[in-house]
Amino acid sequence: MENKKIIIAIDGFSSTGKSTMAKKLAKTVGYAYIDSGAMYRAVTLYCLENGLFNGSELDVAKLEASLNDLSITFGVNEAGGTETYLNGKNVEKEIRQMAVSSKVSIVAAIPAVRRALVLQQQAFGKEKGIVMDGRDIGTTVFPMAEMKVYVNASAETRAQRRFDELRGKGDTTTTYEEVYKNVCERDYIDSHREESPLRQAEDAVVLDNSNMTIEEQDAWLLDLFNRLTK
């Protein structure tokens, strides 16, 4: 007998490894994977490319007027990885740059942006059998998700992970101090915004992966999934 299909919501602060673990779990159990954070990053990239930012000031009215013109979709590359497309263009590499990371929490705090993307995210989950990670998946997007995980790790650990990731992608100019500051700023904005702030859902299971290996983390998630789908 085939296991029942469920919705898996993985939430947590930036650089906790949510996307990596969500992708791996989705691949292991044969579910679709949606990176909700990539959607906010794509909107942020649009803002940067179209001059909607003046320093840290965002032209909210112009962004809200442009939302209906934004199409965010996902494709799968030859290696089986998920890639993000903005208006038909592959922007997976661009949305991971520090320029986007430093502004994404500002964009994600705009109520109209969140409402527009939440509707798209909910549409992705209509058939269940989906893994989605982000900041408000278990609280706002899929409050009835059968599996909710809240991931955490210290700010220092997360900054080091992000710094190592940037170095691995060839960024030799961004310093650890800049990354740590960005992590702390994003933590504050994400947890204090008015619209769908980051918080642990009451029925979420906490995963602190500060001192876990990736293998231990993946085994923990798969065990939880198996128990919930029996």
Smallest CA-to-CA distance from 15 within 206, 211, 187 is with 187
CB 34 within 8 A of CB 9: no
Phi, psi (5° rounding) for residue 76? -115, 130
pLDDT of residue 2: 61
Smallest CA-to-CA distance from 147 within 1, 2, 3 is with 3
pLDDT of residue 81: 79
pLDDT of residue 151: 96
Cβ-based neighbours of 150, under 8 Å, separated by 6 or more: 11, 12, 138, 200, 201, 204, 205, 206, 207
- What global pTM score does this model have? 0.84
CB 73 within 8 A of CB 83: no
pLDDT of residue 205: 97
Phi, psi (5° rounding) for residue 19? -65, -40
H or E element, residue 85? strand 82-86
Smallest CA-to-CA distance from 135 within 2, 219, 3, 10 is with 10
In the chain, which residues have pLDDT < 50? 1
